[in-house]
Amino acid sequence: MKTKQMFVGLGAVAALGAAIVPMASYAADSSSSDVAVSLRVGSTISMALDSNTINEEVLSGGSSTSKTTVATVSTNSATGYTIAATPTPATGALTSTEGNTIAYVGTGYSTATEGWALSVGGVYKNLDTDSGTSTEGTIPLFSSDSPASSVGTTINYNFKTDASTPSGNYTATLEYTAAVK
């Protein structure tokens, strides 16, 4: 009889123990899985010009002058950005209502007797005429290799006439583009 009570007592303790101990403690192995998480952040860029019109009232023959525009760029591009101008007409020439022209002379500005050119940081910029290049037909102005937060670049418009330059109102249009690299 004592043996029977002992087995019954042990059976009750075992059942009670199984009820108290969580089932997870009986698990012999575990299982895990990895999740690859990726996020692509695209590049954004914005540019604002402080002036949309450059007017030089009167430039007499045989003189020179310059005006400025500030292009302010913001971009998150890790590789930076470029600023370029695309002229109309494609030659970059300033054309008068009478059909006279003042040529865009780029890096030749310092020695030209007549012409106009854009410069950044004192460096005159050429119109890219290399056929097949990604910048053909533009005037590459500035390049940066890092992101920018409201970074201003001063663009100078340099004008020079000589005594034989016909009088008139000369115009051209420049379309400025800021692009991520």
- Say which range, 9-23, 30-44, 68-82, 150-164, has the weakest mean pLDDT: 9-23
CATH number of the domain where residue 65 is located: 2.60.40
In a domain, 54, yes or no: yes
Residue 56 predicted with pLDDT over 90? no
Confidence of residue 99 (pLDDT cuts 50, 70, 90): very high
In a domain, 10, yes or no: no
In a domain, 88, yes or no: yes
Q: What confidence score (pLDDT) does residue 120 get?
A: 97
Q: What confidence score (pLDDT) does residue 10 get?
A: 47
Work out the percent of the chain whose per-residue pLDDT is above 70: 83
In sequence order, the 6+-apart residues with CB closer than 8 A to the CB of 109 are 115, 116, 117, 119, 124, 158, 160
Do 168 and 96 touch, CB atoms closer than 8 A?
Answer: yes
In a domain, 52, yes or no: yes
Domain that holds residue 96: 45-180
pLDDT tens for 37-47 read: 999 999 999 99
Q: In what order do the strands lie in the sheet with 115-120?
A: 45-49, 64-75, 148-160, 115-120, 123-125
SS (HEC) of the chain: CHHHHHHHHHHHHHHHHHHHCCHHHHCCCCCCCCCCCCCCCCCCEEEEECCCCCCCCCCCCCCEEEEEEEEEEEECCCCCEEEEEEEECCCCCEEECCCCEECECHHHHHHCCCEEEEEECCEEECCCCCCCCCCCCCEEEEEECCCEEEEEEEEEEEEECCCCCCCCCEECEEEEEEEEC
The residue among 9 and 40 whose pLDDT is bigger is 40
Q: What confidence score (pLDDT) does residue 133 get?
A: 78
Q: Phi then psi for 20, rounded to 5 degrees?
A: -85, -35
Distance (Å, whole) CA 76 – CA 41:
9
Q: What confidence score (pLDDT) does residue 110 get?
A: 92
Q: What confidence score (pLDDT) does residue 20 get?
A: 55
Residue 174 predicted with pLDDT over 60? yes
Tally of structural domains, the chain: 1
Q: What confidence score (pLDDT) does residue 27 get?
A: 57
Question: The whole model's pTM is what?
Answer: 0.77
In a domain, 80, yes or no: yes
Q: What confidence score (pLDDT) does residue 130 get?
A: 82
Do 139 and 84 touch, CB atoms closer than 8 A?
Answer: yes
